[in-house]
Structure 1
């Protein structure tokens, strides 16, 4: 039986969205956004804040096992932090060698490390030695920095360093997230290493999943933005829902959006709920045209309570094309209140 994993998505799928997406079912595991390691030992509160699943036996509220991902470039500090993170009951520790973000790459982390297979080996070896044998150490990589010339060398270095499995995002750093994903390279890597390889990249539909498995030769697949665009994608792949989305599913999607917003509103010091909801809707637009209309309806709103009222109204009316347009006058009222204060 093939396995499905929810990918780490820095800046997109924090633990709140991770909670919502795994609550729909279908995933065998998920990986956190990366916890950045520099030159210090991170306190426990960092993990409790960014990966609160550690407070619940390493599971999301829906019961999906969670793996903590670490990002850094120094083998010793990564090893020390991995040893500490291992005491918090995650279902594994993953090392990030795929992040293409410039702010990360400027400091020699993420995908930039793919230019140095020997350093990859040192990092994985150090972390593996520091972590108890019962906790898997895995790695996520891309095909290279600007080309694929070191892809096999990097994968081999990671496997020989002690990585229990590899997730391969089938693009280089310079490719970013531009299609296509080069799944044929995953097949070459899979043939070169003696550890399980999990395919990742450009899986948006059930048909994409089928092609990815066929081309890569991998049974297991990790899904990222495809799951954000269609929260039921894992269930469709499992055959538990229709393979194609339908408008009848939209009321259920709306309830998930309401759930997401409510969870965002309970976060300590969260002031960007409106942006998070709009970002998710921008992905949902790929799957449901109703998401585009809802996005337009809340586009100018910045108060999460106002956005919540609009979405709740949509839920109550089960979506009429014009029913989600706000009828409140938040901007003028809010400005008047600020002046009186």
Structure 2
């Protein structure tokens, strides 16, 4: 969840349980071995808590790029710093990323997927997981079988599939049934992803995809305790609980925050929360022109008076 799920959000949503693993925002790799500070900035859990959130959920560094040797070197560094495995992003649909030959654009090149996964797998000791995330394809799904086969033959430990093509973007529906033929075909665990907003969506995804392993993205931002709702039938959050969570977020220290980071991230988060909470509309309007953390916090606190 590039641009939204930082370490503070990971800490907040994993405290409610249900998550087995968190994957970081992607770390872009080009023709260089990135310094340790780049990994710590992305995943300070590596330095603070043995690569886990405060509630004990393991964190895995995600890498994005197209240069196999450099991805391998950076993967090795991520493991040395304490990442719980390495994830390779072949699913990002962003134009800027794809134009730099990263993310979903590589789904047009199964041989490149193979080379990258093979190099990273060779660089990372066997006990550590090397996972990959893909979409069904780029413009269509004609290369899905070849892409899965390439990733499998290269030695990936597990594969997450977002059940839409890059062309589909995030437009509903997600085509979970397209994943099902591959579940029994490989002994590599396959994780289903895409358009899971409720426990009912999760059940339908499991049924149609054939996978009991799910990856939550935007759905976990829209309903912060969704993982626990799915896994342990916990009740959905109430609006006061959401406000309390956003206030808790304001207490987190973010490296490089010069006063605008919190406001910008809260506004982004509200875009997802509005899916379940109609109260977001008036709140978003009230803080739209606000930028200082202190001002936004006071407005959030005032929400308790109108609940």
Measured against the shorter chain, the TM-score band is over 0.9
**Shift in Å at residue 146 of structure 1?**
0.2
Shift of 1:282: 1.8
* CA distance in 2: counterparts of 1:114 and 1:30, whole angstroms: 24
Q: Mean alpha-carbon deviation: is it higher for 252-261 or for 208-217?
A: 252-261
Which of 279, 297, 300 is residue 290 of structure 1 equivalent to? 279
Q: Is the CA contact 2:18–2:232 (under 8 Å) kept in the aligned structure 1? A: no
| Distance in 2 of aligned mates of 1:193 and 1:152 | 11
Q: Which runs of 5+ in 2 are unaligned?
A: none
Report what 1:22 is aligned to: 14
Aligned to 2:185: 192
The match for 1:223 is 216
Equivalent residue number for residue 308 of structure 1 = 297
SS of the residue 1:202 aligns to: coil
- 5+ residue gaps in structure 1? 1-8, 321-341
Structure 2 contact 90–103 (Cα < 8 Å) conserved: yes
Contact 2:247/2:297, CA 8 A, preserved across alignment: yes
Deviations 1:176-213 (A, max 9, x none): 11111010111123243330100000000011000000
Matched, 1:268 2:256: yes
CA deviation string 1:130-174 (max 9, x = no partner): 111111111000111100000011011001101001000001111
> Structure 1 residue aligned with 2:87, among 65, 85, 94?
94
CA contact (8 A) 2:63 2:86 kept: yes
**Number of equivalenced pairs:** 305
Q: Is the 8 A contact 1:30 1:67 kept in 2?
A: yes
3-state SS of 2:165 partner: coil
Q: 1:202 aligned to 2:195? A: yes
Counterpart mapping for 1:42-57 below 5 A: 42-55=34-47, 56-57=49-50
Deviations 1:24-78 (A, max 9, x none): 2111111001111000110000011111111111101221111111101011111
Query: CA shift at 1:268, angstroms?
Result: 2.5
Query: Which of structures 1 and 2 has the bigger CA Rg?
Result: 1
Query: Structure 2: how far apart are the matches of 1:294 and 1:258?
Result: 14
Distance 1:267 1:250 in 2: 29
The root-mean-square deviation of aligned C-alpha atoms, in Å, is 1.4
The worse-fitting range, judged by mean Cα deviation, of 130-139 and 208-217 is 130-139
In structure 2, how many angstroms separate the alpha carbons of the residues matched to 1:57 and 1:84? 15
TM-score, normalised with respect to structure 2: 0.96
Q: Equivalents in 1 of 2:184, 2:93: separation in Å? A: 25
Distance in 2 (alpha carbons) for counterparts of 1:184 and 1:239: 25
> How many angstroms apart in 2 are the aligned matches of 1:299 and 1:23?
29
